[in-house]
Amino acid sequence: MTEQAKTKKLINAPENIIPEMIEGMIAAHPDMLTLEGATGRAVVAVDGPRDGKVGIVIGGGSGHEPAFAGYVGRGLADAAAVGNVFASPSPAQISDAARAADGGVGVLMLYGNYTGDVLNFTMAAEELAAEGIPVRHVAVADDVASAPLERKHERRGIAGDFFVFKIAGAAADLGEPLARVEALAQAANEATRSMGVALSPCSLPQTGKPNFTIGDDEMEIGMGLHGEPGIRRQKLAPADEVTDELMDAVLSELGLSAGDRVAVLVNGLGSTAQIELYLVFRRVKQRLDALDIRVHASWVGEYATSLEMAGASVTLIKLDDTLQMLLDHPCRTPALTVGAVGDGLAATTSRGRRSDKAPEQRGTTEAEVQRELLTEGDVTPAIFRGMIHNVGEQIVAEKDWLSELDGVIGDGDHGVTMEIGWKAVQRALEDAPENETIEGTCKRMAKAFLDAVGASSGPLYATAFLRAGTAVGDRLNLDGRGMANWLSAACQGVRDRGRAEPGDKTMIDAWVPAVAAAEARADKGLSALETLVAAREGAEAGMRSTAAMESRRGRSAKLGARSVGHIDPGAASTYVMLRAMAEALEKALAR
């Protein structure tokens, strides 16, 4: 079996691709965009945020350009939080965008309905609420292929973002209050339906490998925007037949009648020729004309892509007078201009934000609290940091395997995401003082991982580390019981934040048996190493058991029975983590 050829990318270092893209984007549109905040990921409209106006914050992973930062500008979004490729922005990045957008009357956050986005935007909202900034949310969920109508709250957002963002931005620009802007955005969300088809895969810049395989004569109906498998794979069909299938699904839910009005978006996924997109629109228009449904406005082109994926999606929004007025409201952004926003709208020197001073960050040093700590156990703070460093080494070594697992049932970026997070943890450990306790190290790990990783893994691992550190806050060293407490708290943190349970085919299916095995050893008074080895063995068994499960959480839940037969990548990375910790502890104790 020959090795798969790598795809070609016009990039520099893969790890710098997002900061360099943002730098180029700001340089190309200095009259519309600027960069604010310490994270370097909040792209802000030069003349958007202003005193007394609801701030519109959008965001999501990169790789979908011009979404999301391309929709930042007067009359549309005030700021966008830019995540890594196919990964949600982190809470810190989202908070930077929200603070920049805040005009004193609240912020509306808009994002696709994906687990990582929901977790990270929710965590950011909690932080902002503590600062006194009112926040509302709308998670766009327009993809009819991703869940049946009775479970539409589970649907993912794809190109429907385009219409929801536009209408919310217009409402805010017109001075509507926060509750009204939220209601109008939700009305747009309810009135919007999309469905897509993929003809070829895309490839992540960090791997250079296609994130799924598809035959030269095949297409995937209902493909997700990150390469998630759709509802069916079949032989390539003529454009009219494909468009009819997409339109049948969309029209069946919108409840359109003769005389109704819609707006249409025919969206290319990254490398579909305009010729093909106009063929699709031609058939869309024919279908609507036959039903006596008027097309009020239409867009044909690339508005929400998936890197270089070939394929297209069709999005319709059913209009009433209010939604039509908001859709027609002028805006000016790099990716979309509607009407004329008028003269005299250049940058202002002050936009009425509550404060230009970022909130004070709480440190993670242990000098704040002096207390008597338990010293029993072989795992000292220094040994613990070595164990965590080894996790980073092993995650990097297994990056391709983890991404391959994710490519089968997800979007193929899990290994890359884990590498980013654990490298950030390794860098953070370099700054740790020698006398930092295990609890302090866990706080440091949580902040580093969360700041670096915006995918669902970021909040999940950050919560796990914080809970685990708190659970051993009374200890200097860890013995068998302390190690079991650390593992148990980490597991519970993931469960509480992610709302997953055993059998859902997630990392929990590795964590739960790992903790059960560790608790059994600790109850017998065995050492930290013996406890951790048992956890490793439990995690491995749990990981392997996920192959027989049908996914019920996250992006792969859309696959149903198609997810059976494949190991869950989150469970795999959990096993790698515990394996690496046990390996490092064994070596440290053998010295």
- What is the DSSP annotation of 365-397? -GGG-----B--SSB-HHHHHHHHHHHHHHHHH
> Per-residue b/e over 358-369, b at no fewer than 16 CB within 10 Å?
eeeeeebebeee
Domain(s) of CATH 3.30.1180.20: residues in the chain:
196-316
State the pLDDT at residue 89.
94
- Topology of domain 196-316 in CATH is Hypothetical Protein Tm841; Chain: A;domain 3 (3.30.1180)
pLDDT score of 563 more than 70: yes
Domain(s) of CATH 3.40.50.10440: residues in the chain:
14-184
Q: Lowest-pLDDT range, 156-165, 380-389, 546-555?
A: 546-555
State the pLDDT at residue 451.
85
- Average the pLDDT over 66-81 and give the result: 97
Q: How far is CA 391 from CA 14, 290, 578, 589, in A?
A: 22, 60, 8, 17
Give residue-wise pLDDT tens across range 458-480.
Answer: 889 999 999 999 999 999 999 99
State the pLDDT at residue 560.
63
Higher pLDDT, 110 or 152: 110
pLDDT score of 427 more than 80: yes
Q: Lowest-pLDDT range, 211-225, 368-382, 561-575?
A: 368-382
pTM of the model: 0.77
Confidence of residue 40 (pLDDT cuts 50, 70, 90): very high
d(CA 344, CA 456): 42
d(CA 205, CA 13): 9
Contacts of 414 (CB under 8 A, 6+ apart): 402, 403, 405, 406, 457, 569, 570, 573
d(CA 484, CA 576): 18
d(CA 331, CA 165): 11
Cα 110 from chain centroid (whole Å): 13
As a whole-number percent, the residues of the chain with pLDDT over 90 amount to 77
Tell me how crowded residue 298 is: count the other CB atoms within 10 A of its CB: 13
Tell me how crowded residue 178 is: count the other CB atoms within 10 A of its CB: 17
Confidence of residue 223 (pLDDT cuts 50, 70, 90): confident
In this structure, which long-range contacts are made by residues 345-351, counting pairs with CB atoms below 8 Å and at least 24 apart in sequence?
345/47, 345/74, 346/31, 346/46, 346/47, 347/46, 347/47, 348/47, 348/50, 351/49, 351/50, 351/51, 351/103
d(CA 326, CA 314): 21
Reply yes or no on whether 226 is catalytic.
yes
d(CA 166, CA 328): 9
Q: Look up residue 157 and give its DSSP letter.
A: P
d(CA 367, CA 296): 64
- Asked if 121 contacts 150 with a C-beta cutoff of 8 angstroms, the reply is no
d(CA 43, CA 270): 22
Pick the CATH number of 366-590 from 1.20.1250.20, 1.10.1740.10, 1.25.40.340, 3.30.230.10: 1.25.40.340
Q: Phi first, then psi: give them for residue 168, nearest 5 degrees.
A: -65, -40
Out of 226, 329, 414, 566, the active site residue is 226
Cα 387 from chain centroid (whole Å): 28
Selection from 282, 288, 290 nearest residue 262 by Cα: 288
Domain(s) of CATH 1.25.40.340: residues in the chain:
366-590
State the pLDDT at residue 359.
44
Confidence of residue 228 (pLDDT cuts 50, 70, 90): confident
- Asked if 161 contacts 134 with a C-beta cutoff of 8 angstroms, the reply is no
Higher pLDDT, 226 or 536: 536
As a whole-number percent, the residues of the chain with pLDDT over 70 amount to 92
Q: Lowest-pLDDT range, 140-154, 399-413, 532-546?
A: 399-413
State the pLDDT at residue 212.
81
pLDDT score of 271 more than 90: yes
Higher pLDDT, 191 or 404: 191
Is the domain covering 14-184 a CATH 3.40.50.10440 domain? yes
Confidence of residue 551 (pLDDT cuts 50, 70, 90): confident
Higher pLDDT, 416 or 324: 324
Confidence of residue 369 (pLDDT cuts 50, 70, 90): very low
